[in-house]
Amino acid sequence: MGLLSRKATCNTHGQDSSYFLGWEEYEKNPYDEIKNPDGIIQMGLAENQLSFDLIESWLEKNPDAANFQRQGQSIFRELALFQDYHGLPSFKNAMADFMSENRGNRVSFDPNKLVLTAGATPANETLMFCLANPGEAFLLPTPYYPGFDRDLKWRTGVEIVPIQCTSSNGFRITKSALEEAYEQAQKLNLKVKGVLITNPSNPLGTTTTRSELNHLLDFVSRKNIHLISDEIYSGTVFNSPGFISVMEVLKEKKLENTDVFKRVHIVYSLSKDLGLPGFRVGVIYSNDDIVVATATKMSSFGLISSQTQYLLSALLSDKNFTKNYLKENQIRLKNRHKKLVSGLEAAGIECLKSNAGLFCWVDMRHLLTSNTFEAEIELWKKIVYDVKLNISPGSSCHCNEPGWFRVCFANMSEDTLKVALNRLKMFVDGPSSTTRSQSEHQRLKSLRKMKVSNWVFRLSFHDREPEER
């Protein structure tokens, strides 16, 4: 082991989270309607598979884009040799226009302030490298996306301090919660460099309110720190209230030429709104010229292929397509969300009221044997191994109340969703209504006792090796 770096041998990636362990169990026994009808159904993956047919139809009608041609002539050589990490101008222009359209054209985006990255993961990590030093901290409202423990911390050395939000007000961000998190960081001798939010929220599926955005801007202004708004779900808002970007609030407050304007940064991606995670398309938008210049240099470690940029520049430049796609995709998400919520209600399970995203924040507190995170993990084990549904426990999202789960609904067919909901209802109704094989019970019983990871309960700072603090 001495031949390897501390990074290679330490355990700070977060792979031991139940969020990732559920994926591993699914991959061992994936559900298939024909080949493996008793397998695990993946409800822990926030993918949008509801509108692929719209994109496929566009590709059939626009063969030049898919075949790397311009007016019938091949541009393969041109794309194959393109290496400018600033990106194709046509793609950056199309992306800036699409981001504006996604926000009702209430704000505009300057293509020169866009930095292209291979997805939102490197976009967030790059911003950490630009805005904070190892051992400094960002505040994140809980519950938050479990992958942030990897994306923001693992390679950068940046720490996460939770802003504790509770179900009493629908997990909204409050002034007092912001101040308490800041004070907690100070007690730990951590210098706070900023706040990062997801809007719409992952895992809550709710949009950030205008009041919350005002609180956040006032807070970062007073503390002289940064605000990152991860808006990768902005096009998934399917119900009122509508989506409000932090850029809109900056404009409304007439902060364009102020210092705080330079300290607000946006992350966006096409992985959720267009359902293209495999294309690896993300962007950073910043009003700080130094951040843009530095992030652009760093983007050479994770570029978007020129072929992908060319194809998507053509797709996003087709305004008829983008307008129809956004509208139809939101209709489909709304319908699918309704089916999940009604199916859960039939099983006696409620959700946090939500209006966006590819998931619901599901309340299973009444199914716990005790009000503890250990009981939450035991329930999660039963749902994974007995019911054979992979969902994400709230503890993996750093929720401070046991019994909440994130359940995804857009990464499967409607028939598969019906199977999943039927399984869950049979489980809730009781053992007499559920057929469980002896082997499944034995496997659950013989599972290694998976204690809730320390990182669920403690600040990430204490989980690092001493040399990495």
Question: Which residues have a catalytic role annotated?
Answer: 145, 230, 232, 272
Residues 6+ apart with CB under 8 A from 399: 142, 143
- Which helix (H) or strand (E) element contains residue 143? none
Q: Tokens 């884009």 identify what position?
A: 65
Give 295-346 as a DSSP string.
Answer: HHHHGGGSPPPHHHHHHHHHHHH-HHHHHHHHHHHHHHHHHHHHHHHHHHHH
Q: If DSSP codes are grouped into helix, strand and coil, which group holds residue 228? A: strand
Calpha distance 191→137 (Å, rounded): 6
Residue 386: count other Cβ atoms within 10 Å of its Cβ: 18
2 in Cβ contact with 454 (< 8 Å): no
Q: Which of 122, 173, 165, 123 is nearest to 142 (CA)?
A: 165
Q: Which run of H or of E encompasses 138?
A: strand 137-141
Task: Mention every residue, 6+ apart, whose C-beta is less than 8 A from residue 169.
Answer: none
The DSSP symbol for 461 reads: G
Which tokens is 142 given? Answer: 């809980």
Residues 368 and 346: their CA atoms lie apart, in Å, by: 19
| β-strand partners of 62 | none
CB-CB contact of 205 with 360 (8 Å): yes
Dist. CA 50–CA 32, nearest whole Å: 18
8 A C-beta contact, residue 253 and residue 217: yes
User: Mapping DSSP to helix (H, G, I), strand (E, B) and coil, where does residue 274 land?
Assistant: coil
Whole-number Å distance between alpha carbons of 469 and 459: 12
Angle between helices 52-61 and 319-346 (to 10 degrees): 160
Residues 6+ apart with CB under 8 A from 214: 249, 253
Kindly compute the dihedral angle of the four CA atoms of residues 396, 400, 401, 402, in this order, to the nearest 10 degrees. Answer: 40
For residue 266, the cross-strand partners are 229, 285
Which is nearest to 361 in space by CA: 331, 379, 341, 334? 341
